[in-house]
Structure 1
Amino acid sequence: MIKCIACGMPMNAKEDFACGDITKNYCKFCMREDGSMQSYREKLNSMTEFIIKTQGIKEQPAREAAKSMMAKLPAWQNKIDDM
């Protein structure tokens, strides 16, 4: 199974990949309108919002959870977080 390098989502169908392009290693939820991958800050913000919405927790704990999850993903392995 192929997983998105930026959020970890399984990408099983062509539609799961950014722009439907199976050569991209990130998913449709981690791309910008132009098809490029979101920055660390953009992904952190969207993942934080996703956690708040789906788990109903406050912003700071959600942001910490998002940072923790992102630290384990290939796209962010060498990211030094200054936020």
Structure 2
Amino acid sequence: MTSCAVITAIVCVLITTVAVIVAFATPNWVKFENLPVQQEPESLCQCSNCECGLWLHCLGGFTDDGSIDNCRWFFSNNFRIEKTLPSKY
């Protein structure tokens, strides 16, 4: 008979696996246009027409054939997007 710790570990691994799959598979997209901000005139993606997602942002949206040739990954260019986020400290 399996112990409670083993069953709990299996359940935690399953929940974590599902959470990772959902994080990568769901399109968490926000489409926005640059809004003038006094202190920070450039938007997060530094463009006037962007579609930003969890892992990449696309300049001008997706192409008609579904290609992501005009998109950049979040971690590209030495994590530029992350470094432009405001710091809490």
Same fold (TM over 0.5): no
TM-score calculated relative to the size of structure 1: 0.27
Higher relative contact order (CA 8 A, sep 6+): 1
Higher strand share: 2
TM-score calculated relative to the size of structure 2: 0.25
